[in-house]
Structures are given as C-alpha cells and as structure tokens.
Structure 1
C-alpha cells in the first residue's frame, strides 16, 4: 500500500487459538429444538476464540479453524447500493469446536448452515458467532454457508489510512480492504494469518464491469439486464487483498514480454493513462521477476478507479489506484508487493515493514535501474534528516496498531534493507531476496525468520544492525 502522505513523498499525484483442548468427544447429531435455540453446553468441545491471536489487533480474525476456500456469490446494485450474497466457506477445525466466529460488519444475516444443516447464530458488532447443530471434532473439514444482504458500509478510520473496505461509488464500488475491511462485504476469517483460495460469482447491472482477483473462468454472461462475472484466484490470498471493484472501465489486455497475462483497467476519466498503466505494469513485473525470483501469480496489471481514496493497494494480481494516475515509482511499489505481502504474507501486523519496507526499497531499485537517483543517494537523503525527526522515534520493526502506516514503516524499513545490503554486499543481498521469496512462496513470514535467513546466507552476526534499524527509538549511528 501507498498512503496519501507517502504519495507526496514519492512524487505521485496526491490522491492461536489457545492450547489445551479437551479430548475429542464422539460426534453426535444434535438437531435444533423447536424454539431454534441450542445452548453451547449441549455440545462437546469449546468455542473458537473471537480473535486469531494478534495482540495488536485482538478482535481481528478468529480462532479454532483454518479456511481453505471461499466461494462468494454476490449481487450488487449500484443505484440502491444494496448487496446480497451467499458466502460458501470450506474450513478445517484446529480444535474441537462447539461454536466459532466469523467477521462480518453490518448486513442482515438470514440463514447459516454448517455441513448442510441449519445452525444458530448471534451478532455482537463485527463478530458473527455460529453454533452448528453438532460439534465439530478437531482436524475435521467442514463447510459453512452464510446468506446475507444489506447496504455495505466502509470502515471510517481516523488514523492515517482513511476510509477503506467496500466503498460504494456512483457507478459501482471501490474495494480496498487493508487492514481489516474484508468484513465489510463478506463473512470470513479477516486476518492475513489465514490465507485461502477464492472463487467469485459477481452479478451487476448490464454495462457494469466487475473486477476481482485472479482470472476470469469464462466469458461474462448477460441475461435479464444483468451480467455475471466468474473470477478465480487459484493461489492463497489474505482477506485484505480480496477485491470486487465495480464500475465503467476501459480495458487493455494482453501479455508481458515474458508471457505473463496483463490486464489494465481505468475509469473513463483516466482513459489517457490506460496504455501507460498497461505497459509499465508489464515492464515492472518482468523486471522484478529477475530481481526477486519468478512472478508468483498468473496475471499482473492494475486498476485506476475514479474514487479519491488517497492511496493505492496491492490487491493480489490487480493493484488498485484510488483517484490518481500512478507514476512509475508507485506502480513499482505496488507490484513489488505481489512478492512482499501477497505471496509472502505476515502473520502479525507488527511485521508490516516486511511488506512496506521491501516495497519502498523496490522503488529505490527501480529508480536506480532507470538511471535516476541511486539507492545510495536515496538512502543518504533520508538518513540526512535530523536525529530528532519523528522517523527515528518510531521503530519500524513493530508497527503500531493506532499508526499502522507510519512513514517509518516504509522509509526506515527500506533504509534497513539498504544498510543490510551495505553490510553483506550485493551478491549476498540479492541472493537473500530470491531465497526469501522462494522459501516462503504462498506462505507466512516473520521478522525473526528474515533475520535468521540473512545471518545464515551471509555468515554474519546481524543482531546489532537489525536492532539499530528496526527496534531502537533513535537514529542509528553504527551498525
């Protein structure tokens, strides 16, 4: 992601579960009584936690299960801003479950089934607690189907991020969900530590285009004044990267020079930017493939929508630019995220520098590649700020929940990588990047794992360097 504050900086137009489960009890069929209630005490097992275990975001995500696949069937009507959906969720329990939670903000929920049987449910703000007809033993696959409808409401955030989630627009919707806005349009486990596959069936009025992650599985079909789009993301994806951005778009499709599918889409207001978005996205994707390792997904590209979000977001396979024409630095940033953030995903938000610091350093690498400012020049420019500047008081290695997208996470994070490059040398540094992306492809990463790999590949003790750059609230002087 690039936020409004950082857009100015980079020259763009502003714009566990707990342990100790009881021994599994035998599965029994507990049909719902006539009054529809079903006390948890009648079930074996225990309730899944209302959070996934991230101490900085204790209510995000849920414990007790792991999602493998979302099948989202959604209809949206821009004039009325009404959304109706059926969310199919394939998951596996990680404990004996008497009940479990889903994250969902707003909407009326009309029906929930678990393994095809009606389940009871309760609402408490964003928590949707589901009690199945029979307890779910540990390590057991199960399916959930949630029918819901209503008018989506985005997250109005008073921090440096602004508004995010499902944002209705005059001709459709702008859908950018970092960090926890997926709950504004479908029920799920809304935390990056539970990635899953996604299938989207999106029905909109004829003439509206629906853009989601991955690839179209068939040509859109129109009947009775409505068009249905089928999209599939076949690689694991964090919920905040899921999108169903809707509207009137001009499209350009083809392949990059290396053969990767490339789709650029722009609101008609930005039609003059279409060719540049398509061409630059292709060039950047192919170049990063030589620096970071093979491109991890089946397509690349980008979307410019006419909504003044003030930020861009690295939606998997389809970076989204909110109400501005991105320059090459911003495109380089968002496409670097396809490796750092999308393929390699953080388990806890405190490690956000592994996404944003890497993408910021990628901007510097792109500048150097183009014969503009070198990475050393850009590093020295940032390092020259006074020792009492705010960036030095915010250690980039632990992003704060109330100031998650602070510029330190980006810039000081990127400077950390340059300091590391200086210390271990170019051959080792670029070998480290490719090893990092290969070892954790489609998986999860932590700062400790990156430090350990850097020390293993370089053969150096790097604790002092990482402590100075990531964890100390002062300007590094030696490392």
Structure 2
C-alpha cells in the first residue's frame, strides 16, 4: 500500500538536522557495493530484486521541498543481514522493514539498512523509507528539474536515486504506484494511469497513479505544476494524455496533435504500442540549466522543454518520433547494462531519420533520403570511433555522444543492407517480442539477428559494434571513410546532460 505523509507539526525536519541524525544511526557500511555495470559500476545493489515501489511525494510550496515515502517490496536472493539502496541527497528520517524500525546509515551514494532480523531468501520483504528532498539542492548529479511552480523528474541515467531510494539500475525493473500531493491550484502527475483523486480539507489534493507494466527507475516521471491535462484517443483506442502548462496550452496544441499520426506510423514499423497510455509533458520551464536535453522518454509521459515544441513540424516531428520509439526500445525493452545504450538510441535515431525522409523533409545538410544520410555518416565513421570509441563500448564521459545515436543507426542500416529489408524487419519484431517488458543486451540482439536471418552475424555485427575502424558497407563498395584526423564536424549535438554526463543526439 501507499503510505502518504500527511502534514503535521514537526514532520518536516531541516535537511541539516536530518543529516546529523542519519549519520549517527549506525556506523558506515564501508566499501561501495554495486552491480559492476561497465559504465556505472557502483549503481545498483546485489542480494535482492525489487518487485514493486509504492511512492508518495508531498510537495510543500512554502519551502519548495518534498516529503517522500518509498515503500519498496524486495525479494532477497540470499540471507541478508544488511542490504543497500541507492540514495543521494535525501534527508532520511526513518526506515522500517516489515513494519519494524531498522538501523540505517549513508555512505557514498548508498543507504545501508540493517533490519531487526536478517531477511531470508525468497521471502518478500517491505522496506519503508521516509525522507525529505529539496529539488533545488546542488548535488554532483540530480534527477530533479525545479520549476517556478514545482518540479519534474529526469533520472536518466544515474540520478533517479536523488528523487527516491531505489535499486537504480535498468536491469531491475519493477511495478510502480505513485501518489502526488500538491496544493490546490497545482496538479501532481506521474507515469501510468490516474486511479484515484483524494481532496483533503487543508487545501491539498492527492492523485494516485499506477503503471500496469514494469518500469526501470530511470524512467520514472513525477511532476507538480500549474498544468492542464489534454485527453484524447489514439490508434486502437489508446488513451493519450498530455500534461501542459496551463498558460501555454493553446500555443503547444499543434505539436500535441501530431502524436496520433506518429503512433500510427510507429506501430506500422514496430507493432502495437506496448503501454497503457502515452502523452507529452512540456514542463513549466525553459531555463537552460533546468535540463540540457530537449526531450526524455520517461515511460508513458515524455518530458519536453516547451519552447522546442513551438517549432515547425519538420523540425520537431523527427525528434518526437525519436522519443516515441523509445517506448519500444528503451522503455519496454530496457538495456541490460548501460553499455547497451546504443540499442535504445540507435533504434530511436534510425526510425526518426526514416520518418523524416519518408515525410520529404531534408535535413540541414541537404540529405533527402536515408541512404544519403547514412553515406554521410559512414564517411565520419572512423572519426566518430576515434573520438567516442566503438558504438557499443561507451564510458561514463561519452555515454551520450552521438556515436550511440547516429552511430547506432548506421549499424542498423548496415545490418539491413546485409540481410535485406524484410529480414531486418523480422529481426526487429522478434527482438521486441522476445524481450518485451524486460531487458536485453547487445549479445541478445546479435543472437536474435543471427537466428532470424539464418546466418552467423556475430563477426559482422561485432566489427560494426566494437571495431576501431569502420567496416565496409554492404552493397555500397564505393562508400569511403574520411581519415579520423580530418577536421569535419561530427554529426549530432553534444551538450551537458542534466545527469552530469554528455548527452548527444543526431541532428534529426
């Protein structure tokens, strides 16, 4: 169940006092645990799986802070005298395990919890963490997006645990229920579907949302602001819900109206939309330091900067398609490791570019077909590999370089040229079917491609994904690669992401 923090005298402790009390609870747990992800090795935690999160966020407009309660159902995989959650910047007030008070402490970006009795393997346990957070706090990286009238959330890739304590790795997907309490006049929204509205007698309202399908922590969206909800019906009766700043609803309507046709196009290529609803959340800020990217594929409710959506359709349509395609690649099928990010971004860019050129919108370099664009990218191949490494071997500093985006799209184009368009489509759909609502690795994709095509593609895709030199393009022996040191501008835009890492996107 959701435990909703109700206001009462003395409930909100100062962040400084909370930190003092927290550090005094138990000794530090010591060395940093983690899953050993090749990009973010300290993210995630071993010894258990998260089954469900019941989250409650209570926005306090006077202090602009958030009182939070996270009720996390976990299944231990071994006997646990202590377990850890990822957490940073959260002033924790209390922790309970199965209703009993538990000792807790923080170290590095972890919340260490010692239950009164060890947890037994296979027996589900419920952890309750009560805390306060300040969305404006200066942290090494943050998932909070402060706005003039509230906040939104952008946790990708490694910052969801600055918003709520969790097992912050996409390999541990779980079910989510989220309650958002805000003063009347503001609207609290979250992923999934609205299931209940509760109006309190103190001028505050709680809205509860549920996601029917598993979600990675980095895809959670929670927002409070002066919003208007626009509801409509998409293909096959799919509920469409856009959450728009009230003062800008009319000017953003032309962009919002594009979603229905975009869904029809995407479903024709990728199959039925995988979730219970879809929509856009143009958050109530265009501040350059709020978040440095344009859009983020938080599950069922894509985050955007509103000014971007005021541009003409040929400029915004491909980017909107990129974010929409993430519902299949990234949200439904999530990466097994962060080094598998090209599966998300390469597919999103590939289909966004295909959408662009099918619509007859040339890009800024005058390319009018997907093949034209791929030939241009092919010429930059060695330069991209020299500057950002192989497509499927990123590090934390270059994770969101365009090599994962248009570089990944070039790999997919090469595969299509190798096996043919019909076989490529069967590979894509088989991969999505096999891993729907779960996780997949680069190895999973190579295995699927080989099985569906009837040929061993391990060497071919291995060269494209991990090689330091750009392989020959099938069917195009006349295509050439420019020297790596040639001063040609890299395709794509590289900017500082809100999560503290480089975030790039092809100039769609």
Same fold (TM over 0.5): yes
Kept in 2, the 8 Å contact 1:217–1:230? The answer is yes
Q: Is 1:101 the counterpart of 2:84 in the alignment? A: yes
CA–CA distance in structure 2, aligned partners of residues 397 and 477 of structure 1? 18
* Alignment-derived partner of residue 307 in structure 1: 286
Cα 1:203–1:381 shift into 2, 3 Å: same
User: 1:107 Cα deviation (Å)?
Assistant: 2.5
Deviations along 1:150-169, whole A, 9 cap, x unmatched? 42356766xxxxx6401221
3-state DSSP of counterpart to 2:360: coil
Q: Is 1:192 the counterpart of 2:197 in the alignment? A: no
Deviations along 1:319-365, whole A, 9 cap, x unmatched? 10135324111110001000000000111101100100010001112
User: 1:389 Cα deviation (Å)?
Assistant: 5.0
* Alignment-derived partner of residue 325 in structure 1: 308
Cα 1:430–1:273 shift into 2, 3 Å: farther
* Alignment-derived partner of residue 139 in structure 1: 122
CA–CA distance in structure 2, aligned partners of residues 378 and 252 of structure 1? 36
- Equivalent runs, 1:33-72 vs 2, <5 Å: 50-72=33-55
Q: Is 1:245 the counterpart of 2:220 in the alignment? A: no
Deviations along 1:374-410, whole A, 9 cap, x unmatched? 3212212222337445667521111211221011010
* Alignment-derived partner of residue 224 in structure 1: 202
Cα 1:447–1:386 shift into 2, 3 Å: closer
3-state DSSP of counterpart to 2:398: coil
Cα 1:438–1:92 shift into 2, 3 Å: same
Kept in 1, the 8 Å contact 2:67–2:131? The answer is yes
* Alignment-derived partner of residue 379 in structure 2: 384
- The CA RMSD over aligned residues, in Å, is 2.4
CA–CA distance in structure 2, aligned partners of residues 303 and 331 of structure 1? 12
CA–CA distance in structure 2, aligned partners of residues 273 and 424 of structure 1? 45
Q: Is 1:210 the counterpart of 2:199 in the alignment? A: no
Deviations along 1:166-223, whole A, 9 cap, x unmatched? 1221111021110111111211111111111111111111111112100000245353
CA–CA distance in structure 2, aligned partners of residues 325 and 392 of structure 1? 29
* Alignment-derived partner of residue 411 in structure 1: 406
3-state DSSP of counterpart to 1:200: strand
* Alignment-derived partner of residue 447 in structure 1: 442
3-state DSSP of counterpart to 1:98: coil
Count of aligned residue pairs for this structure pair: 434
3-state DSSP of counterpart to 2:67: strand
Q: Of 94, 98, 105, which residue of structure 2 is paired with 1:115?
A: 98
CA–CA distance in structure 1, aligned partners of residues 465 and 142 of structure 2? 28
TM-score (norm 2): 0.80
- Higher mean Cα deviation, 222-231 or 295-304? 222-231
CA–CA distance in structure 1, aligned partners of residues 139 and 469 of structure 2? 32
Q: Is 1:284 the counterpart of 2:262 in the alignment? A: yes
CA–CA distance in structure 2, aligned partners of residues 452 and 288 of structure 1? 24
Cα 1:314–1:376 shift into 2, 3 Å: same
CA–CA distance in structure 2, aligned partners of residues 210 and 342 of structure 1? 22
User: 1:94 Cα deviation (Å)?
Assistant: 1.0
CA–CA distance in structure 2, aligned partners of residues 188 and 352 of structure 1? 21
CA–CA distance in structure 2, aligned partners of residues 347 and 289 of structure 1? 24
Structure 2 regions of 5+ residues with no counterpart?
1-23, 310-315, 362-367, 475-508
Cα 1:39–1:393 shift into 2, 3 Å: closer
Cα 1:168–1:386 shift into 2, 3 Å: closer
User: 1:81 Cα deviation (Å)?
Assistant: 1.8
Cα 1:146–1:388 shift into 2, 3 Å: closer
Deviations along 1:280-328, whole A, 9 cap, x unmatched? 1222223212211211100011111223323111000001013532411
Kept in 2, the 8 Å contact 1:121–1:128? The answer is yes
Cα 1:265–1:391 shift into 2, 3 Å: farther
User: 1:264 Cα deviation (Å)?
Assistant: 1.5
CA–CA distance in structure 2, aligned partners of residues 75 and 368 of structure 1? 45
3-state DSSP of counterpart to 1:71: strand
* Alignment-derived partner of residue 430 in structure 2: 435
3-state DSSP of counterpart to 2:280: strand
Q: Of 338, 341, 355, which residue of structure 2 is paired with 1:366?
A: 355
* Alignment-derived partner of residue 183 in structure 1: 161
Q: Is 1:398 the counterpart of 2:393 in the alignment? A: yes
* Alignment-derived partner of residue 24 in structure 1: none
CA–CA distance in structure 2, aligned partners of residues 436 and 81 of structure 1? 44
Q: Of 113, 124, 135, which residue of structure 2 is paired with 1:130?
A: 113
3-state DSSP of counterpart to 1:217: strand
CA–CA distance in structure 2, aligned partners of residues 426 and 155 of structure 1? 49
CA–CA distance in structure 2, aligned partners of residues 461 and 390 of structure 1? 24
3-state DSSP of counterpart to 1:466: helix
3-state DSSP of counterpart to 1:396: coil
* Alignment-derived partner of residue 19 in structure 2: none
Structure 1 regions of 5+ residues with no counterpart?
1-35, 41-45, 158-162
Kept in 2, the 8 Å contact 1:48–1:97? The answer is no
User: 1:38 Cα deviation (Å)?
Assistant: 8.2
Cα 1:468–1:228 shift into 2, 3 Å: same
